[in-house]
Structure 1
Amino acid sequence: MAAGIGRQGLAGALRALRVSRPREQLLLVELNRPDKRNAMCSAFWREMVECFQDIAQDSSTRAVVIAGAGSVFTAGIDLSDLGREFLAVEGEDTARRAWKLRQKIQEFQETFSVLEKCPKPVIAAVHGACIGAGVDLISACDIRYCSEDAWFQVKEVDIGLAADVGTLQRLPKILGSQSLVNELAFTARKLLAPEALTCGLVSRVFPDKETLLDGALDLASAIAARSPVAVQGTKVNLLFSRDHPVSDGLRFMATWNMAMLQTEDVLKSAQAALEKRGPESVTFAKL
């Protein structure tokens, strides 16, 4: 676990994730079951929540990159592991079993919602396969890059399910075509990297995994060089505005900035601009 990250008992205890600090103010969170194609086991769902709750409180981190160890980003849910967990849900009758199943589904939803709740920008760097719950994961990230060999698949209909941890709610707000969203969700067909770029699922495509990670880290470094008050406030307001009418978003923004405009970061940034210096030349306090 990276220095400065890890609630008591979490540091050094990760099974499904690996967290490192490749550059100052950045964290790299890797799905770390390469022998299982980074399939999401029960430990993954718990560790993601704990990890990003910690990151949200870590003033030393200003941006995060999520990637996959090994040959693919993720094969999605580990059915052999989680299938047993869901089948084991008990209840005295149908209603009580359904109630417990609903609670468990909501717990799984939080695994990716925590990415949005974390005020630090989160960049997904996808190579190879990104299947099923992998699409749920990247849909909750702020920025998505991929390599030329990447492909994406909303796989749930092929196993008799409607995707239930975020894809159906977030993907329509990302892609420019509801028709395409419906096609992908109804058929489970593969979406290759060139089409992912064209439709807006990703914003850049790189030749291979190595250049992808370099590009994602360079982007994270550029974000980290800016005022954390400005960057984190921007993320909060973008998400609020996504889910509310324009008038509500404007009111929320006014209330937000009546406090945040009083930061010293505004004066520091303005002075750097007047002196024709970039934001990298300014030292901003931790947030």
Structure 2
Amino acid sequence: MASGGSSDAEAELRRGFKALAVTRPDPAAAVYEVRLSRPAQRNALSPDSFAEIPRAMALLDRVPAARAVVLSAAGPHFCAGIELGGPGNPLTAPFGRGADPAAAAEGLRRAILGMQAALTAVELCRKPVIAAVHGACVGGGVDLVAACDIRYCSKDATFVLKEVDMAIVADLGALQRLPRIVGYGNAADLALTGRRITAAEAKEMGLVSRVFDSKQELDAGVAKIAKEISEKSANAVMGTKAVLLRSRDITVEQGLEHVATWNSGMLRSNDLVEAIKAFMEKRKPVFSKL
């Protein structure tokens, strides 16, 4: 019989989400799917997304019927990164312009740390989280899948860290996690050039474990893998994940703290405003000279 806590978590999951869809596609499998569900916005990460991802992961952590979690996306693309210009976006909020600069910087720093924590919730979920990526995976989308335990993609998938082209430093975890996944050189290549890589190159550098020929095959293949994992000992699976994470270099938190402090000042630059305007106007940005 489920405990009161797990029953409450299951009931909370059924109440639904705005930016996500959380379902159990196969009642016979102990696998839940967390699907980014803003296809009209190419699943760009909104304030709702940052609020709901940790909520979903915390609830699934408590549900015994969730032995594995698949992170997927609706529509033609996985994730277009952080939503630019939307209401409530902490990157474009004024943070007391005209007020004390230190107070404004601290407000922005807290916002960055909050977004970091939202994606770190994927890593902190004791259940294995498997990313199924198709189409474009941009910026914050790469941060998100880097926090997953295993990554698969379809042949049409592409990956790009665009922050350097937006005059900012990627600050939601990619710079801390990618070097441990693909190696320092590959991570530096992606982060400093902002170039787009194909599914084949992502597989070659170890960003994904396998490439499927189509989204349909990706969905079926990942569901099969997740089901196989879910059928193993829950204690062994959760213990393996916990030990893998603990055995990793333990300076991830220090790196996140550093980039949050760095960007609390740097994100207030005119270059960010120009980059966003150029993005919206579909033109090449003209940045200030140092």
1:153 to 156, 160, 171: 160
State which of 235, 243, 250 in structure 1 corresponds to 2:241.
235
Instruction: Give matches, 1:209-220, under 5 Å.
Output: 209-220=215-226
SS of 1:123's equivalent in the other structure is strand
2:174 matched residue in structure 1: 167
Aligned equivalent of 2:228:
222
Decide whether the 8 Å contact of 2:182 with 2:207 is kept in 1. yes
In the TM superposition, residue 85 of structure 1 has moved relative to its aligned partner by: 3.6
* TM-score when normalising by structure 1: 0.80
TM-fit CA distance, 1:12 = 3.2
Structure 2 residue runs without a partner (length 5+): 1-5, 252-290
Using the TM superposition, give the Cα deviation of residue 21 of structure 1 relative to its aligned residue in structure 2, in angstroms.
0.2
1:127 is aligned with what amino acid? H
Shift of residue 182 of structure 1?
A: 1.0
- Identify the residue that residue 62 of structure 1 maps to in structure 2: 67
Q: Which has the larger radius of gyration?
A: 1
Aligned-pair CA distance for 1:89: 1.9
1:173-213 residue CA offsets vs partner (Å, 9 max, x unmatched):
0003x222111101110010001001000000001111101
Distance of aligned partners of 1:160 and 1:142 in 2 relative to their CA distance in 1, 3 Å threshold:
same
Deviations 1:212-242 (A, max 9, x none): 0111111111101110010000000000001
In percent, how many aligned pairs have the same letter?
44
1:19 equivalent in alignment to 2:22:
yes
Which position in structure 2 is the counterpart of 1:132?
139
Q: Partners in 2 of 1:104 and 1:7 — Cα distance? A: 29
Equivalenced residues, count = 242
The letter of the residue matching 1:60 is A
| Structure 1 ranges of 4+ moved more than 3 A | 3-13, 82-86
Displacement after TM superposition at 1:111 (Å): 1.2
- Given that residues 79 and 141 in structure 2 are in contact (C-alpha distance below 8 angstroms), is that contact kept between their aligned partners in structure 1? yes
* Matched residue, 1:33: 38
Higher relative contact order, structure no. (Cα contacts within 8 Å, ≥ 6 residues apart): 2
The aligned counterpart of 1:115 is: 122
- Once residues 38 and 104 of structure 1 are traced to their aligned partners in structure 2, the CA distance between those partners, rounded to angstroms, is 20
Q: Matches of 2:103 and 2:120 in 1, distance apart?
A: 26
Deviation at 1:99, TM superposition (A): 1.0
| Closer/same/farther in 2, CA of residues 84 and 197 from structure 1, 3 Å limit | closer
RMSD (CA atoms): 1.9
Task: Output the amino acid matched with 1:183.
Answer: D
What is the CA–CA distance in structure 1 between the aligned matches of 2:8 and 2:52, rounded to whole Å?
13
Deviation at 1:5, TM superposition (A): 7.4
What is the distance in 2 between the residues matched to 1:84 and 1:198? 35
Q: In 1, Cα distance between the equivalents of 2:54 and 2:77?
A: 22
Question: Which residue identity lines up with residue 232 of structure 2 in the other structure?
Answer: R
For 1:39 and 1:6, locate their aligned partners in 2 and report how far apart those are by CA, in whole Å: 26
How far apart, in 1, do the equivalents of 2:11 and 2:115 lie?
22
